[in-house]
Amino acid sequence: MSKTIGQQFFNDPRLEEAKKLIKEALNDHKKSITGVKAPNPELKASYDELLKKMADYRGGGLFFNYLGSGIGNGPLVELADGSIKYDFITGIGVHYMGHSHEGVIEATLKGALANTVMNGHLQQNDTTAELLEVISKAATKNGALVKNVFLSTSGAMANDNAFKIIFQKRAPLAKRFFAFEKCFSGRTLGMAWVTDKAAYRAGVPQTVQVDYVPFYDENDHKGSIEKAVKAMKSCLKRYPGEYAGFIMELIQGENGSWVGNTEYFEALIAVCKENNISLLVDEVQTFGRTTEIFAFQHFKLDKHVDVVTVGKNSQVCATLYSDDHKPKPGLLSQTFTGSSSQISAAYFVINEILKGNYLGENGKIMKLHKHFQAKLEAMSKKMPNKITGPYGIGAMVAMTVFGGDEAKTKDFTYKLFNNGVLSFQAGAAPLSRVRFLMPILAVEEHHIDEVCAIIEKTLTEME
């Protein structure tokens, strides 16, 4: 078969040679990154200057004093002050394969060599078609109807697009949405009014009308189902026919890895069905982190989903929808839907999650979860006044420190950072949590052991 000039270029032996050299150089340098290291005092002045520059031009400092040097090794990352830390939050759940992964770098290089930096509504390169096929086939493998995939550049934008699709489908009367209490859906003008946090929409005029339903409580299985169904029914009585959709995070990530339940979801979905309400599952954080690539598959909700959004681990963000929810021309379009490097990396990472031994009850994700959980449980027995939990599922792990006190939890994440582990605060008082979004694909049990030793040391140092 005759090849395009593009195919000839990408298969040019000189590129193979160049890639080989790049990989050799990468491995020569990253092999020196073997464990946690304190900052280099000689780099302190230049690092402080960089941090100041960042804060001055950004209009405010960073949450952590994190400016990477551009290299790492699996779960370890080097910062520009020469320190090395365990990255157990990965940019809030993005770098699933860890730092400086050879395969990811090769994929991004392929994208970087493409003719354009960005892809968008008027032009996509051939890799995008391959990527959409992988995502679509993975989503529909158990019969879900969400076969159409629209790419976008952030999780919030993917959710905005999902809302527009559902509002258009249910127009003109249905203008309201259901969401879970304490949900996080992003911070666009639309999503700021969905995310259940007043501070994130302070001063912003209302864009979407949302009513909140209490999330699942594993300590009150039956009661929490009854409460949620009752909340929905009372809203439906107040605003009959006005609900277009229900956005569901099946595991609440930003709130601290709260895990839902199939029976609970099915009870709410039954009310949706009775009232012509579309189901939107927000998988921006859950994608690739449970026993299945999609959490809706883990909870066996395949036949119910109308629209699904993904982001973070997927490297690209996307809104998936059924034919029945196909938007009219003009509703969705974007100049940028993703960079060439991003699309190429997404293709590589998603295939790796699907084809490696990560998913399933006995896959690497669940094995590492159990290991981490056992370690944290043992720690909580040792110092019950300092740590409770752990919570979460799969690659979403959380714990409570100092009874969930917000200020102390924040302080703990700073101290843990200084001791060499990146985590993040989640939820709010009185139930603040510390959470971890591990780069599962790069983590081994001994990394978790080392991280747990640092957690224990940090807790011991705090009163």
Ligand X SMILES: Cc1ncc(COP(=O)(O)O)c(C=O)c1O
3-state helix, strand, coil in the chain (%, to 5): 45, 20, 35
Nearer to ligand X, 256 or 390 (CB): 256
Give the phi and the psi of residue 310 in degrees, each rounded to 5.
-130, 160
Distance CA 64, CA 92 (A): 12
The string of DSSP codes covering 81-134 is TS-EEEESSHHHHT-TT-BS-HHHHHHHHHHHTSS-SEE-SS---HHHHHHHHH
Of the candidate spans 13-21, 154-162, 329-337, 417-425, the one that interacts with ligand X by CB under 6 A turns out to be 154-162
257 binds ligand X (CB under 6 A): no
422 vs 101, 148, 171, 449, CA distance in Å? Answer: 19, 36, 45, 15
170 with 244: CB under 8 angstroms?
yes
Tell which residue, 316, 322, 317, 281, has the closest CA to residue 298. 281
Of the candidate spans 34-42, 281-289, 389-397, 402-410, the one that interacts with ligand X by CB under 6 A turns out to be 281-289
Of the candidate spans 153-161, 363-371, 382-390, 395-403, the one that interacts with ligand X by CB under 6 A turns out to be 153-161
Nearer to ligand X, 78 or 254 (CB): 254
Nearer to ligand X, 90 or 409 (CB): 90
Of the candidate spans 110-118, 249-257, 412-420, 436-444, the one that interacts with ligand X by CB under 6 A turns out to be 249-257
What's the chain's length in residues?
A: 463
255 binds ligand X (CB under 6 A): no
Of the candidate spans 38-46, 148-156, 197-205, 352-360, the one that interacts with ligand X by CB under 6 A turns out to be 148-156
Rounded least distance, CB 186 to ligand X, Å: 3
156 binds ligand X (CB under 6 A): yes
Beta bridge partners of 34: none
Q: Please identify the residue of the shown chain whose CB is closest to the bound ligand X.
A: 155
Distance CA 388, CA 369 (A): 16
Nearer to ligand X, 77 or 396 (CB): 396
305 binds ligand X (CB under 6 A): no
47 vs 34, 41, 143, 244, 306, CA distance in Å? Answer: 22, 10, 52, 50, 48
161 binds ligand X (CB under 6 A): no
306 binds ligand X (CB under 6 A): no
Cα dihedral 328, 129, 131, 307, rounded to 10, equals 10
Within residues 115-144, the interface with ligand X by CB under 6 A covers: none
**Binder to ligand X among 254, 302, 352, 456 (CB under 6 A)?**
254
Tokens found for residue 415: 């101290």
3-state secondary structure 28-60: HHHCCCCCCECCCHHHHHHHHHHHHHHHHHHCC
Rounded least distance, CB 391 to ligand X, Å: 16
**Binder to ligand X among 253, 390, 420, 439 (CB under 6 A)?**
253
How does strand 243-248 pair with strand 176-180? Answer: parallel
Of the candidate spans 13-21, 223-231, 277-285, 373-381, the one that interacts with ligand X by CB under 6 A turns out to be 277-285
282 binds ligand X (CB under 6 A): yes
Give the phi and the psi of residue 242 in degrees, each rounded to 5.
-95, -5
How does strand 433-436 pair with strand 278-283? Answer: unpaired
Here's the x/- map for ligand X, 179-218, by CB under 6 A: it reads as -----xxx--------------------------------
Rounded least distance, CB 185 to ligand X, Å: 5
Rounded least distance, CB 253 to ligand X, Å: 4
Of the candidate spans 106-114, 151-159, 362-370, 381-389, the one that interacts with ligand X by CB under 6 A turns out to be 151-159
154 binds ligand X (CB under 6 A): yes
Beta bridge partners of 72: 77
Within residues 91-110, the interface with ligand X by CB under 6 A covers: 92
392 vs 184, 202, 255, 290, 437, CA distance in Å? Answer: 16, 30, 11, 10, 10
**Binder to ligand X among 242, 249, 306, 352 (CB under 6 A)?**
249
Nearer to ligand X, 19 or 187 (CB): 187
88 binds ligand X (CB under 6 A): no
- How many residues bind ligand X (CB under 6 A)? The answer is 15
Can you tell me whether residue 164 is helix, strand or coil? Answer: helix
426 binds ligand X (CB under 6 A): no
Nearer to ligand X, 195 or 341 (CB): 195
Nearer to ligand X, 83 or 185 (CB): 185
284 binds ligand X (CB under 6 A): yes
165 with 321: CB under 8 angstroms?
yes
Tell which residue, 66, 126, 123, 86, has the closest CA to residue 423. 86
Binding residues vs ligand X (CB under 6 A): 92, 154-156, 159, 184-186, 249, 253-254, 282, 284-285, 311
